[in-house]
């Protein structure tokens, strides 16, 4: 019996041994997809990355073979052509090899992302001459400026961009602007790619991807994690900065001061008598549990309706516009930003104070900080990017009545929101009981002639705006901010009624708000 062979050259004994090994490898995970068996080719991939991918697939419920056999249905490879894999299969002497699905790593990553085997598309199959990876000619056409790229919320490289965003944030904490720019630009570029990075060859020709970034990406490709970020997430100072700056009114310098005093938790800071808090910080602590929760689109729209109703009592034709991440298509955010603009010049005078006073009389105002307009008439624009502008604005914490939020929309939005901790989930239950939730809201009064520029600036994303200003300055010799566009050559401010006209002034193709998630 031991000498008997199947037509494929595999003895029944060896086949039984392979089946036993396969069963052992899957014994600690539930198998959800019995109809397919994946074999990941190590060639051009490396053993550590192969082991990581195999373990990932098993955790997702896929069957994965450690060794090649005639039971395999899907062969997954990286950076190999159809010709190379077919020659390798012939050596294995697999029967019915023509029935095998020879697939690029993109099918694997798409399936892992979906949590189930995705339908095999033409782009997933290995091609006769080359794999379906972006060619060098395509890669070299990716522009360096985020304002020249479309970046939707469909981020196919989240595993890399999440890491780069954390590293960029830490550089901001340390006021290391050079490294911040390096990480932020690389993350922005990866977010814009219409395909997942599955191998180092995919990076060829891409701008903003230097040696430092390549090392990080290679680390993730091989091990599934970035060792640098893993260490950072365990760092006491980073954790304290992250925690303390989550309090409304607390910046990095204050967070560092509290850390230096030996504080490590919110409760320690709140209960000490050694610190004098600002009015904003006191409000931040008072409503902390509400404010750290994500705001759903349904909640943002309910706040918008509430603001608009009050504004229209005083100025019926005023425009109240939701901006920020919600305008870019996000379903959740940290706060809600609105621009308030009037068609007729002068109608906005006193409108913000009247609106806030009415909110106060209605018992909806929990905190308010006014910032009066500081823009001098025809003032030249700043050479540097500044997240703050010179409009009259106020930073609020408002009480949102849960009954104003459509329950169906809220449940959908909550399902797509970031997962809550047990403590956060418990507070969400308490919030429903008390019937209201504290929401962070920013209101900005914008003169009609500057509305298009303010809308562009307040819509974001942050990196999109940074690159838009950089492009204007370096490529067009213009200064751009939330108030206007100044042509340095002609020494004139350029008027614009819409965002499309601003893009036209800069010689750029218009990019929709939901394509600016850079």
DSSP assignment of 123-152 equals: GGBPPSSS-SPPPHHHHTTS-SSGGGS-B-
Which one, of 498, 442, 502, 451, lies nearest residue 476 by Cα?
502
Q: Which residue has the higher pLDDT, 433 or 496?
A: 496
Q: How many residues does the chain have?
A: 518
Average pLDDT, the chain: 85
Q: What is the mean pLDDT of residues 120-126?
A: 82
Lowest mean pLDDT among 306-310, 361-365, 385-389, 458-462: 385-389
> Would you say residue 24 has pLDDT above 70?
no
pLDDT exceeds cutoff 80 at 513: yes
The CA-based angle 448-450-451, given to 5 degrees, is 65
The average pLDDT across 409-437 equals: 50
Residue 30's pLDDT band (cuts 50, 70, 90): confident
C-beta separation of 395 from 442 below 8 A: yes
Catalytic residue among 66, 256, 406, 442: 442
Least confident of 9-13, 141-145, 224-228, 327-331: 9-13
Q: Would you state the pLDDT for residue 67? A: 87
pLDDT at 220: 94
What is the structure's pLDDT at 121? Answer: 84
| pLDDT for 308 beyond 60 | yes
The one catalytic residue among 290, 335, 389, 481: 335
User: By mean pLDDT, which of 24-28, 263-267, 277-281, 404-408 is the weakest?
Assistant: 24-28
Does residue 162 have an active-site annotation? no
Catalytic residue (choose from 70, 337, 389, 481) = 337
Residue 7 pLDDT exceeds 70? no
C-alpha distances out from residue 272 to 275, 276, 290, Å: 7, 9, 22
Q: What is the pLDDT of residues 218-251, one digit of tens each?
A: 999 999 999 999 999 999 999 999 999 999 999 9
Residue that has been written with the tokens 């209960």 in this structure? 271
Regarding pTM above 0.85, the answer is no
All structural domains of the chain: 12-124 (3.40.50.10190), 137-232 (1.10.150.110), 235-286 (1.10.150.20), 295-505 (3.30.460.10)
Q: Is residue 406 flagged as an active site residue?
A: no
Check residues 394 and 17 and name the one with the higher pLDDT: 394
335 noted as active-site residue: yes
């Amino acid at each position: 019996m031991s000498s008997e062979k199947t037509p494929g050259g595999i003895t029944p004994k060896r086949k039984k041994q392979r089946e036993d090994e396969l069963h052992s490898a899957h014994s600690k995970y539930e198998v959800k997809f019995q109809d397919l068996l994946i074999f990941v080719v190590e060639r051009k991939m490396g053993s550590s990355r192969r082991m990581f991918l195999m373990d990932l697939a098993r955790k997702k419920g896929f069957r994965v073979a450690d060794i090649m056999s005639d039971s395999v249905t899907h062969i997954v490879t990286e950076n190999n052509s159809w010709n190379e894999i077919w020659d390798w299969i012939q050596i294995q002497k697999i029967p019915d090899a023509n029935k095998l699905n020879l697939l690029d790593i993109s099918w694997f990553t798409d399936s892992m992302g979906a949590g189930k085997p995705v339908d095999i598309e033409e782009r997933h199959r290995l091609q006769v001459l080359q794999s379906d990876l972006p060619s060098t000619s395509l890669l070299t056409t990716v522009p360096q400026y985020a304002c020249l790229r479309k970046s939707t919320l469909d981020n196919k490289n989240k595993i890399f961009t999440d890491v780069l965003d954390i590293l960029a944030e830490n550089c901001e904490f340390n006021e290391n602007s050079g490294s911040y720019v390096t990480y932020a630009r690389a993350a922005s570029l990866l977010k814009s790619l219409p395909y997942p990075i599955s191998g180092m060859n995919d990076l060829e020709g891409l701008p903003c991807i230097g040696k430092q970034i390549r090392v990080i990406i290679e680390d993730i490709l091989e091990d599934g994690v970035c060792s640098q970020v893993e260490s950072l997430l365990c760092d006491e100072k980073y954790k304290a900065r992250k925690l303390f700056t989550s309090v409304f009114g607390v910046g990095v310098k204050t967070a560092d001061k509290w850390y230096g005093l030996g504080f490590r938790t919110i409760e320690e800071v709140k209960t000490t008598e050694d610190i004098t808090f600002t009015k904003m910080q006191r409000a931040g602590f008072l409503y902390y549990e509400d404010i750290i929760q994500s705001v759903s689109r349904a909640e943002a729209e309910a706040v918008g309706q509430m603001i608009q109703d009050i504004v229209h009592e005083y100025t019926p034709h005023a425009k109240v516009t939701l901006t920020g991440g919600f305008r870019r298509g996000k379903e959740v955010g940290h706060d809600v930003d609105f621009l308030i603009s009037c068609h007729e010049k002068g109608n906005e005078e006193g409108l913000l104070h009247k609106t806030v006073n009415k909110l106060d009389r209605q018992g909806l105002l929990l905190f308010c900080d006014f910032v009066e307009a500081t823009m001098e008439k025809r003032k030249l624009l700043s050479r540097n990017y500044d997240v703050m502008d010179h409009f009259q604005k106020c930073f609020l914490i408002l009480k949102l009545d849960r009954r104003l939020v459509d329950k169906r929309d809220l449940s959908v939005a909550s399902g797509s929101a970031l997962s809550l901790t047990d403590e956060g989930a418990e507070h969400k239950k308490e919030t429903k009981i008390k019937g209201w939730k504290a929401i962070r809201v920013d209101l900005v009064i914008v003169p009609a002639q500057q509305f298009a520029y303010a809308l562009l600036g307040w819509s974001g994303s942050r990196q999109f705006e940074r690159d838009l200003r950089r492009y204007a300055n370096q490529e067009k010799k213009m200064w751009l901010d939330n108030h206007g566009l100044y042509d340095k050559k002609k020494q004139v401010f350029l008027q614009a009624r819409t965002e499309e006209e601003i893009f036209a002034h800069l010689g750029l193709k218009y990019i929709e708000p939901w394509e600016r998630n850079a």
